[in-house]
Amino acid sequence: MLIDTYGRVATDLRVSLTDRCNLRCTYCMPEEGLQWLAKPDLLDDDEIVRLIGIAVSTLGIEEVRFTGGEPLLRPGLVGIVERVAALEPRPQMSLTTNGIGLRRTATALKAAGLDRVNVSLDTLRPDVFKTLTRRDRHKDVLEGLEAAREAGLTPVKVNSVLMPGLNEDEAPDLLAWAVEHDYELRFIEQMPLDAQHGWKREGMVTAGDILASLRTRFDLTAEGEGERGSAPAERWLVNGGPHRVGVIASVTRPFCAACDRTRLTADGQVRTCLFAREETDLRAALRSGAPDEEIARIWRLAMWGKKAGSGLDDPTFLQPDRPMSAIGG
């Protein structure tokens, strides 16, 4: 079990498979990209599967989310999914992606055992997409979403970040589109995880702004805390249901008290929080020949030291030293 001093138990593991990405989203990284991790620093496929196996068999992990960077850029992704699906007990598996490579991989991922996907899409307008991501790939994302739905990687969840002056007016249009295509839309407040440290609390599009905009066109009924559990998204029924919309308000409505997540970076570091400034090295233990029991002990100790909150409610909050692409969203 991965328990901390506040009584929270981690059952959800987020695994970053690579720090690389084929987009350059303005809220994540600079246009020129980043200094990528050297290949020897990255966990190999066997190391990833071994660590997930320890987490599932010994530490009580029930859900595994593959992230990046962009996880579809990982050459061995399908094989990793297939091997994790064979673990006992079998964890639920999902993947967060920008969707560009889903058209060609969705069927293989489903066959390997992946349960569902989260796809990032911030706008319905190709020109705005190009401005936000610095790439002209809007059509590829839409086709990837369709491929995921047809392959049965459902519910297909769409993650959208609204940015002032770019797409902040699109919330109602995005929800209407998601309902039409049977996707579950989730808005995410912009978080301070950009490599260039350009995030500012002032002027950000908040959960309150998003909900006010949605209510100009839709009737929203809150699901309530009983339905939410430890999920990061507050959810509302749209026009009485069955469709839902969620808002992840990490900045203005922190949900740290119910957090059930632990994170593994692409280079084998445990992070107790997306916004943590400290990491615990599992790669060194792996490569020095440590047995599973020792690795589990190190992981437990790391989680025992998890802080009460993310610190985002502190006006003097300092951003993590590593950008989101290296940490895993």
Distance CA 57, CA 190 (A): 35
Helix (H) or strand (E) holding 232: none
Q: Which helix (H) or strand (E) holds 308?
A: none
Which pLDDT score, from 0 to 100, does residue 196 have? Answer: 46
pLDDT of residue 179: 97
Q: Which DSSP letter does residue 15 get?
A: E
Residues making up the binding site for S-adenosyl-L-methionine = 27, 69, 120, 191
Q: How far apart are the first and last CA of the chain?
A: 23
Measured from the Cβ of residue 237, the count of other Cβ atoms closer than 10 Å reads: 17
CA distances from 150 to 89, 102, 116 (A): 27, 11, 12
Return the pLDDT at 199. Answer: 46
Question: Residue 318 burial by CB count (10 A; 0-12/13-18/19+): exposed, middle or buried?
Answer: exposed
Tokens (6 digits) for 324: 């989101």
Whole-angstrom Cα distance, residue 195 to residue 85? 34
Please give the chain's pLDDT, 329 residues, in tens. Answer: 999 999 999 999 999 999 888 877 777 766 665 677 889 999 999 999 999 999 999 999 999 999 988 999 999 999 999 999 999 999 999 999 999 999 999 999 999 999 999 999 999 999 999 998 888 999 999 999 999 999 999 999 999 999 898 999 999 999 999 999 999 999 998 866 544 445 455 568 899 999 999 999 999 999 876 666 667 889 999 999 899 999 998 888 878 888 999 999 999 999 998 888 889 999 999 999 999 999 999 999 999 999 987 666 555 555 555 555 555 55
Q: Which residues are annotated as a binding site for [4Fe-4S] cluster?
A: 21, 25, 28, 256, 259, 273
DSSP annotation string for 237-278? EETTSS-EEEEE-TTTS--GGG--EEEE-TTSEEESSTT-S-
Q: Is the pTM of this model over 0.85?
A: yes
For 127, counting Cβ atoms within 10 Å of its Cβ (0-12 exposed, 13-18 middle, 19+ buried), the class is exposed
Binding-site residues for GTP sit at: 14, 65, 96, 157, 261-263
> Do the beta carbons of residue 251 and residue 257 sit within 8 Å?
no
Q: How distant, in Å, are the alpha carbons of 132, 137, 252 from that of 201?
A: 19, 29, 10
287, HSE (Cβ side, Cα atoms, 13 Å): 12
Residue list for the binding site = 14, 21, 25, 27-28, 65, 69, 96, 120, 157, 191, 256, 259, 261-263, 273
Report the alpha-carbon angle 191-309-21, nearest 5.
35
